[in-house]
A = this chain, B = another copy of it.
């Protein structure tokens, strides 16, 4: 049965971490909410009180009888099936640990434009956003990427991947946060990228993988925009 991904249809958002894993592996899937009537189908399914294990929010994945929600839980499910995680338990746990740390960075990137709350527009929280974005640019970006650089340097089997010798969904997540932060904070990233040569080499290596290059050039890849998690507002990038 073809995998079904459910996520908001107009943004990359958290769903993109799942899409990248499926695309890298060449796994067929339906991006349900992007099809005709798909968003209504997603909302109906979320509200279905007969579900034994309902999701709290998108993204969620349906694989026959199995329904899994929460981005890193979906990746934990898909990892072994798509061969995007090491086979041993410590390796799988560390991949999950890295995916969780990437999710923390994504959340902080989101909060730069919505510090006071998701119920308000960006326009209603601009001074707070400016303060938060400054801290994010000056303290947090470097702390996170410095950590990932350290993890790559410490990888006992080589410094070309975050964990093990092969591509994992943690590597794909790191690719995506580099992409997202280059879109949102181009100046800050240009000024700092030289500090994390391994991270950038991994990003470039992934961009060149045939499945990923084909995906990025396709209309399946939604363009970054100011409805998503990573947003470019020039005033938040100095």
Contacts and interface: CB of A to CB of B under 8 A. Distances in A.
A76 B56 contact: no
A117 B131 contact: yes
Contact of A73 (B55, B97, B125): B97
Interface of chain A, helix or strand or loop or mixed?
A: helix
A37 to B, nearest CB: 25
Identical copies in the complex: 2
B116 A131 contact: yes
B93 A119 contact: no
A77 B111 CA distance: 30
A151 B115 contact: no
Nearest to A65: B90
Contacts of A93: 68, 73, 76-77
Contacts of A139: 119
B100 A73 contact: yes
Contacts of A107: 107
Interface string A86-116: 0000100110110011001001000100011
A159 to B, nearest CB: 12
B154 A49 contact: yes
Interface string A113-137: 0011111100001001001100100
Nearest to A133: B117
Given A52-B154, A53-B154, A154-B53, A97 B119 contact: no
Interface in A23-77: 49-56, 66, 68-70, 72-73, 76-77
Interface string A128-167: 1001100100010000100100110011100000010000
B100 A70 contact: yes
Contacts of A100: 70, 72-73
Contact of A68 (B51, B97, B156, B163): B97
Given A53-B94, A77-B93, A128-B128, 4 more contacts: A52-B155, A70-B101, A73-B93, A115-B115
